[in-house]
Structure 1
Amino acid sequence: MDVRRTTVRDMRRSNRSVILSSIYRDGPLSRHELSARTSLSAASVSNLVSELIEEGVVEEAGSVESEGGRPRVLLRVAPTFRYVVGAEVGETRIRVELFDLAMTVLARADYPIDVPQPAVVVKHVLEGLAAVIAEAGVQPSLVLGLGVGVAGTVDSDAVVHAQTLGWDAVPLGEMLAEGTEIPIHLDNGANMLGQAEMWFGAGRGASDAVIALVGSGVGAALVADGSTYRGTRSSAGEWGHMTIAYGGLRCRCGAEGCLEAYVGAEGVLERYRQAGGSGSAVDEEAAFVELLDAVGTSGVAATIVDDTIGYLAAGFANLVNLVNPERIVLGGWAGLLLGERYLPQLREAVGKHALRQPYAQVSIELCELGRDAVALGAATLPVLRLLRDGGVVPPRSNR
């Protein structure tokens, strides 16, 4: 092997990756701006950009006036160079979406489910993959990959451990790969919400943040110095299973007193029923909305919601004291429903539990990308691979 040739090739790919990532995350950018941002010489930027344009990865996107010279041509990643698919595996629904590289949704498929059994998940994700490709009218060979956000811990072999779902070492990546030639990427759903919000939403510009997902269950993405903190074996971020009450309510994971048992939608509705509350809705999300709507007329509903805000605030305060984030972003369908009505009350309650100095340094915001941001975040997994590889699309045999 020619070590020098390998080193030069790797350096070139690394520089392409730096340029492509800058264009994608911060573009459109001019060649001059790229040189300033990447510290690469103007000649290197010009040569590598020419390569990327010739390969169709990058395209010109208009121009801007420059001081005393010719207008500067702006560059962007070509939206239709390739396509990506993201899937959210929820506890009551599976959503699959197809995007271009500008992350514009071109097709969507939804499948309600009763219980997220692995075989059911695989069936609907693959059905959704085929459906969105057909609806968008794109060639399967132009799909970079399928990213999937799922509850639980996802190890390096795409094996899922989801205690609350009853999943023990489920080889979900392998099961999905058996049904398609499109490369499969898996990660935790809260991490995918976090990645979406950090790239495109309320987390932009923050280097240390927590993106909290509150739905049927509860999780969080911990971002430290711009990167997701995963811990020793990728299980960091299981904030929902932080003990909030010693000897408290039993959680779905089997432990007692977990935060999820008090602020997850399933736990909140169970506490409401135990307190004598009632409603006509059968669907969990509709029942949660019904509970919130009853606050003005039902003392039981008002107490349950007030307690829920208190428990959520205590959970946030623990994060403030423990990891000192500059931003906490609240998302997930139940989190958004609560935050849209009670965000000022939540912020005030966090201040009562957190230490003054780190509380003064944090802002608490709502997700900007809506309740379906997990699928968007999952779709960034194959995009990330493209950026890291400098725009080189690997053969399908090299997943």
Structure 2
Amino acid sequence: MASKRTTVRDLRRHNRSLLLSKLYFDGPLSRHELSGLTGLSAATVSNVTGELAQERLITEAGLVESDGGRPRVLLRVDPGYGQVAGVDIGETGVRVELFDLAMRPLATVEHELSPARTEPRAVVEAVVSGLNEVLACAGADTVLGVGVGVPGAVEHGEQVLVHAPTIGWESVALTAELRAAGVTLPLFVDNGAKTQGQAEMWFGAGRGARHAVIVLVGSGVGAAVIADGVTYRGSTSSAGEWGHTTIVYGGAACRCGSRGCLEAYLGAEAVLARYRRARGKAAPGDSEQEQFAALLSAAEKSKTAQRVLEETAGYLGAGIANLINLFNPERIVVGGWAGLALGERLLPLIRETAGAHALRHPFGRTSIELARLGLDAVATGAATLPVAALLEQGADPRPPVKGDALASGAGVG
């Protein structure tokens, strides 16, 4: 088979992408440093950075002394070039955040969802309302795109389909639904654990690792598997459903319809149910997060609460051991609101249990850490999706259109 011919246009896009990515992750840098780091000639670096500066994608960021001669100009990606929005669709609410290109938050809005209001129409209404609110609050006028993290598998084909059985979604065409509701900005949809994973790899506890697993423990349980710096997706993008690996054959019923899944023991709903059965009544609080916090507080005096939490840490440690044996990562990062709450209290026990169940050699070369981006990680990661498109294309991800609907930041009905 003949190899694909590389055109001048392909080469130009590659050079723009390479330089823009290097400036985004490692800048500010001088043109001289860019040439050395990328292997591109000084002339190519000068020409391409000149184009990017003319388009206002990059800007000067001061001077640095050189070895003799004039000081060198430092360049960086211009944070004010545009904004990106990140949406975290959870089981109990929708969080919408707006960021500049340096991923500094500009505005945040949250809308609660009751279990009875997770049908696609209600969720889409909450997303559109949230987008309108953050855009108005920040006065955003150059939004490059909207990233959306969802609690389920995302199938990318002719349509973007979301399969999220825990909220009753089966083959929901989310992008089409958002388009029908008036969103015309570029849309990027991915699994929430994967968006959290990308955020932690770019800016958090995963930064610098080539082989890592970023786990999310909240109402549900998931993971992003990073292999040689790239998120592993599988044949239909459903890889990483760690919460639905079997940990007890014929065990507790899981919300996915199977039995014995890790989520049926480690997910916040399952942990609270186990505590309720052991104690005879529920932990106080109106929401899962409030009840989980009450459980953590009760463990100071209650042996029952302490036992439930230690069991949960054991399930988490055993699940992490499975990840170590399967993927041989250099780093495991524990995130999600319940994962962080549990890890802050019982990380030594989690590590101990993982070590007891994992093979000794790979465990000895794996660090287990807590995520650093907190409760914003899924939305932050979702907002990196349009940034990733910008870096990959080496250009604004918004398609050229007649009029100024997109250029003005409009596009939300």
Structure 1 length-normalised TM? 0.96
Match of 1:117 among 108, 119, 122: 119
Shift of 1:396: 5.4
Farther off after superposition, 26-35 or 389-398: 389-398
Distance 2:172 2:397 in 1: 29
Q: Which 5+ residue runs of structure 2 have no aligned equivalent?
A: 407-413
Match of 2:264 among 261, 264, 267: 261
Matching of residue 297 in structure 1 with residue 301 in structure 2: yes
Distance 2:221 2:143 in 1: 31
Shift of 1:277: 4.8
Q: 1:327 maps to which residue?
A: 331
Shift of 1:9: 1.8
Matching of residue 96 in structure 1 with residue 99 in structure 2: no
Q: 1:134 maps to which residue?
A: 136
Shift of 1:391: 2.0
Q: 2:409 maps to which residue?
A: none
Q: 2:411 maps to which residue?
A: none
Q: Deviations over 1:182-222 (max 9, x none)?
A: 11110000000000000011000000000000000000000
Amino acid in structure 2 at the alignment position of 1:175: E
Alignment partner of 1:103: what SS?
A: coil
Shift of 1:6: 8.3
Q: 1:215 maps to which residue?
A: 218
Distance 1:348 1:100 in 2: 40
Matches within 5 A, 1:146-295: 146-156=146-156, 157-178=159-180, 179-278=182-281, 279-295=283-299
Distance 2:218 2:184 in 1: 32
Report runs of 4+ in structure 1 exceeding 4 Å deviation.
396-399
Mark the CA change 1:277 to 1:306 in structure 2 (over 3 Å): closer, same or farther.
Answer: farther
Match of 2:318 among 304, 314, 317: 314
Distance 2:6 2:359 in 1: 52
Distance 2:242 2:6 in 1: 43
Shift of 1:393: 4.3
Mark the CA change 1:397 to 1:259 in structure 2 (over 3 Å): closer, same or farther.
Answer: farther
Distance 1:265 1:63 in 2: 51
Q: Deviations over 1:278-310 (max 9, x none)?
A: 332121101001111111211111111110000
Distance 2:396 2:359 in 1: 48
Q: 2:36 maps to which residue?
A: 36
Distance 1:327 1:26 in 2: 21
Confirm or deny: 8 A CA contact 1:35 1:41 kept in the other structure. yes
Match of 1:395 among 391, 395, 399: 399
Shift of 1:397: 5.3
Amino acid in structure 2 at the alignment position of 1:31: R
Q: Deviations over 1:172-191 (max 9, x none)?
A: 11101222221111000000
Farther off after superposition, 111-120 or 93-102: 111-120
Residues paired across the two proteins, number = 393
Mark the CA change 1:6 to 1:209 in structure 2 (over 3 Å): closer, same or farther.
Answer: closer
Q: 1:80 maps to which residue?
A: 80
Alignment partner of 2:259: what SS?
A: coil
Confirm or deny: 8 A CA contact 2:186 2:398 kept in the other structure. no
Matches within 5 A, 1:370-385: 370-385=374-389
Q: Deviations over 1:288-342 (max 9, x none)?
A: 0111111121111111111000010000000001100000000000000011111
Shift of 1:120: 1.1
Alignment partner of 2:110: what SS?
A: strand
Q: 2:351 maps to which residue?
A: 347
Amino acid in structure 2 at the alignment position of 1:351: G
Distance 1:258 1:330 in 2: 18
Farther off after superposition, 116-125 or 208-217: 116-125
Q: Deviations over 1:353-380 (max 9, x none)?
A: 1111000010001111111110010001
Alignment partner of 2:299: what SS?
A: helix
Distance 1:207 1:384 in 2: 17
Amino acid in structure 2 at the alignment position of 1:219: G
Shift of 1:346: 1.0
Confirm or deny: 8 A CA contact 1:177 1:184 kept in the other structure. no
Farther off after superposition, 149-158 or 223-232: 149-158
Farther off after superposition, 111-120 or 220-229: 111-120
Shift of 1:392: 3.8
Shift of 1:17: 0.7
Mark the CA change 1:256 to 1:101 in structure 2 (over 3 Å): closer, same or farther.
Answer: same
Farther off after superposition, 368-377 or 68-77: 68-77
Confirm or deny: 8 A CA contact 1:277 1:300 kept in the other structure. no
Distance 2:357 2:50 in 1: 55
Shift of 1:250: 0.5
Q: 1:64 maps to which residue?
A: 64
Farther off after superposition, 274-283 or 199-208: 274-283
Percent identity, aligned pairs only, is 59
Distance 2:200 2:152 in 1: 20
Amino acid in structure 1 at the alignment position of 2:386: P
Distance 2:160 2:76 in 1: 32
Q: Which 5+ residue runs of structure 1 have no aligned equivalent?
A: none
Shift of 1:80: 1.0
Shift of 1:394: 3.6
Match of 1:368 among 372, 381, 390: 372
